[in-house]
Amino acid sequence: MDALILAGGNSRRMGSDKALLSWHGIPLLRRVAQVAAACTERVYILTPWPERYESLRDPGWHLWRESAPNRGPLLAFQEGVARLRALAVPAEWVLLLACDMPRLDEQVLRNWREELDSLPGEMVAALPKTERGWEPLCGFYRLSLMHQLEAFLQAGGGSFQGWLPRIPTVVLPLLQEQMLTNCNTPADLEGENA
């Protein structure tokens, strides 16, 4: 199991780089990477600015430079998937996370990971779902089936919400929706730091 963290957004609504903002004294990107490292064997951070985040990195975390930034999360995910699949020993699953989710719960992610072994082989993704829809930036994707992502993109698709209804996806149980809270504005971060 590998983790892929996307840290390439422009943070327009926030007004400054979300990944560097502090949540209870810890930069958001570091917080997410620490949780990911506790639940997976390897952590990869895909970003247009690896040098910006070098000081946040623990040994063993990998910073990958995004080759074509500002294309949106689905195309960034596609790039990350291609790099993960090119590794000498690619993992079966990848845990995809956004860099701005301070309330991630390590135990919930571990419990979700344990459920993956019981899924049928055709399941492409395992994700939480709320009344707003799928939560694609906090879930698991089977790397060997990512040809389905390639086909969707080649057909002109461009969003997770457009892709996920077309693939076999299992809903992961979500007891506390605040775990999925992300920080997009200064008010969001203030609420999280309260």
Mean of the pLDDT values across residues 134-158?
95
Asked if the model's pLDDT at residue 174 lies above 60, the reply is yes
Angle of CA points 160, 162, 168, to nearest 5°: 80
Fold of the 2-193 domain: Spore Coat Polysaccharide Biosynthesis Protein SpsA; Chain A (3.90.550)
Distance (Å, rounded) from C-alpha 80 to C-alpha 193?
Answer: 30
Distance (Å, rounded) from C-alpha 175 to C-alpha 156?
Answer: 35
Asked if the model's pLDDT at residue 120 lies above 60, the reply is yes
- Looking at residue 142, the DSSP 8-state letter turns out to be E
| Mean pLDDT, the chain, whole residue set | 89
Report the first-to-last Cα separation within the chain, whole angstroms. Answer: 33
For residue 135, give the nearest of 153, 107, 154, 108 by alpha carbon.
108
Predicted local distance difference test score (pLDDT) of residue 10: 59
Query: What torsion do the CA atoms of 121, 124, 125, 126 make, to the nearest 10 degrees?
Result: -10
Helices in the chain by DSSP H: which ranges?
28-39, 50-53, 73-85, 106-115, 147-154, 160-163, 186-193
Predicted local distance difference test score (pLDDT) of residue 111: 96
Asked if the model's pLDDT at residue 184 lies above 80, the reply is no
Convert the pLDDT of each residue in 52-89 to its tens digit: 999 999 998 999 999 988 889 999 999 999 999 999 88
Distance of CA 173 to the CA centre of its chain: 17
Predicted local distance difference test score (pLDDT) of residue 24: 85
Predicted local distance difference test score (pLDDT) of residue 187: 62
Convert the pLDDT of each residue in 11-33 to its tens digit: 555 455 778 888 888 999 999 99
Buried b (16+ CB within 10 A) or exposed e, 12-32: eebeebbbbbebeeebbbbbb
Q: What are the domain boundaries of the chain?
A: 2-193
Q: What percent of the chain lies above the pLDDT cut of 90?
A: 72
Distance (Å, rounded) from C-alpha 119 to C-alpha 135?
Answer: 19
- Looking at residue 121, the DSSP 8-state letter turns out to be T
Predicted local distance difference test score (pLDDT) of residue 8: 77
Predicted local distance difference test score (pLDDT) of residue 23: 82
What are the residues whose beta carbons fall under 8 Å from the beta carbon of 5, sequence distance 6 or more? 29, 32, 33, 36, 43, 44, 45, 46, 97, 98, 99
